[in-house]
Amino acid sequence: MTAQPPSAVVFDIGNVLIEWQPERFFDGVMPAGDRARMFAEIDLHGMNDGIDRGESFRDAVYAAADRHPAWRPQIRLWHDRWLDIAQPAIPGSVHLLRALRRKGIPVFALTNFGVETFALARKAYPFLDEFDRRYVSGELKVIKPDPRIYAILEQDSGVAPGDLLFTDDRIDNIAAASARGWRTHHFDGPEGWGRRLVQEGLLTEEEARP
């Protein structure tokens, strides 16, 4: 256990609180070989980065579909069936979020998410309204791992870097936070994340258990 527990805990959302596996979704609606070819030919994750930076959700997806007419119906599904891609919730992580809140520990979200997609997600997943503070890339016009988004959180929250504990599934996002002096945990499941929260003195083993 560290000498002093963190003052606030920062959660990523995609693949930490909500599963985000677009390839899995598309494997369910088209032959796997076609899906692999489509993703190889088109930078759909790059398209999504634009949405996460604040571009119009529908415009970005439909423009990409129009640039690749052979895949137009499939690409449009990124918009038209987005909630079927961004699912399901990860119950163990939701439990940890709520366990921290019950103890009065400030909990923030730092997430790469579009403005419109985050609005959709909030309706589907009410726990997204349970954070003390939310830092959404589409609203801030900057995405992780750009250092500016971490600086925004530091300045707005007033919490010193060394007093923040951050979890994210992407190692590049973790590395950027570590470089600023944040405490970090590379998320690979709620069990390991729960153990880290116990080690940091934030939760007891019983509180961390779903």
Q: Are residues 69 and 130 in the same domain?
A: no
pLDDT (average), residues 170-180? 98
Q: Are residues 50 and 95 in the same domain?
A: no
Q: Are residues 195 and 95 in the same domain?
A: yes
Q: Are residues 97 and 73 in the same domain?
A: no
Q: Does 76 have pLDDT greater than 80?
A: yes
**Cis ω on the peptide bond leading into residue 88 (within 30° of 0)?**
yes
Q: Are residues 39 and 115 in the same domain?
A: no
Q: What is the domain count for the chain?
A: 2
Instruction: Among 85, 104, 124, give the residue marking a domain's end.
Output: 85
Q: Are residues 104 and 66 in the same domain?
A: no
Q: Are residues 13 and 38 in the same domain?
A: no
Q: Are residues 73 and 94 in the same domain?
A: no
- Strand-pairing partners, residue 135, are 110
Q: Are residues 69 and 153 in the same domain?
A: no
Q: Are residues 45 and 148 in the same domain?
A: no
Residue 40 lies in a domain: yes
Q: Are residues 95 and 79 in the same domain?
A: no
Residue 108 lies in a domain: yes
Residue 3 lies in a domain: no
What's the pLDDT tens digit per position in 14-64? 999 999 999 999 999 999 999 999 999 999 999 999 999 999 999 999 999
Residue 90, both tokens: 């990860």
Q: Which domain holds residue 14?
A: 8-19+88-200
- What band does 3 get if pLDDT is binned at 50, 70 and 90? low
Contact 16, 188 (CB under 8 A): no
Residue 187 lies in a domain: yes
pLDDT (average), residues 176-186? 98
- What band does 4 get if pLDDT is binned at 50, 70 and 90? very high
Contact 29, 180 (CB under 8 A): no
Residue 207 lies in a domain: no
Q: What is the pLDDT of residue 1?
A: 44
Alpha helices in the chain (DSSP H): 22-27, 32-41, 44-52, 57-67, 72-80, 82-85, 91-102, 115-124, 137-140, 147-157, 171-179, 190-199, 205-208
Residue 206 lies in a domain: no
